[in-house]
């Protein structure tokens, strides 16, 4: 389903980034990094709304010929980015949303772990398995 899942800290450095092993990992790093431009744009546009009305899901950040990049930003400004293959047309907005929700709840679990130091890269196995499930699901 997803070909790349990334969690990016408030300060824009990657906390977690994983892509399908078959494809060029570097390319996804560039893609995700570039998508932060649009995330920032969208967040600053949304930021004017009242906090409780703010939608965490940012929608499609930008499409490329091969991929669609979706964004999500938590209230603490941690960003989630999911990259999906463009040819995967069966994927609907709702499914992307639910993927983000799952990711968010798993991320919250990671943050709740008293042994996790906020700001460190995520090495949680359960988080990893959630992400794996997202990447495997359809293929």
For binding to another protein (CB under 8 A), which residues are involved? 9, 11-14, 25-26, 29-30, 33-34, 36-38, 40-41, 62-65, 86-87, 89-90, 92, 119
Residue closer to another protein by CB (options 21, 51) is 21
Residue closer to another protein by CB (options 86, 123) is 86
Shortest distance in whole angstroms from residue 87 CB to another protein = 6
Residue closer to another protein by CB (options 37, 55) is 37
- Token pair of 69 as six digits: 């990049």
Residue closer to another protein by CB (options 13, 105) is 13
Q: Which long-range contacts (CB under 8 A, 24 or more apart) does 22-28 make?
A: 28/3, 28/4, 28/83
- Token pair of 12 as six digits: 């824009």
Shortest distance in whole angstroms from residue 19 CB to another protein = 10
Question: Which residue bears the tokens 């941690």?
Answer: 78
Shortest distance in whole angstroms from residue 98 CB to another protein = 15
Rounded Cα gap, residues 88 and 91, in angstroms: 6
Shortest distance in whole angstroms from residue 114 CB to another protein = 20
For residue 42, CA distances in Å to 68, 78, 81 come to 16, 14, 13
Is 3 in contact with 19 (CB distance < 8 Å)? yes
């Amino acid at each position: 389903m997803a070909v790349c899942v990334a969690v990016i800290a408030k300060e824009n450095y990657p906390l977690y980034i994983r892509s399908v092993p078959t494809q060029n990992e570097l390319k996804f790093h560039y893609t995700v990094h570039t998508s932060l431009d649009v995330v920032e744009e969208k967040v600053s546009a949304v930021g004017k709304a009242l906090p409780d009305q703010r939608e965490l899901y940012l929608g499609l950040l930008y499409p490329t010929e091969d991929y669609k990049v979706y964004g999500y930003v938590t209230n603490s400004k941690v960003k989630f980015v999911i990259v999906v293959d463009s040819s995967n047309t069966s994927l609907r907005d709702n499914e992307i949303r639910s993927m983000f929700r799952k990711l968010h709840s798993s991320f919250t679990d990671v943050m709740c772990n008293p042994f996790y130091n906020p700001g460190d890269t995520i090495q949680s196995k359960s988080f990893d398995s959630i992400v794996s499930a997202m990447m495997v699901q359809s293929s």
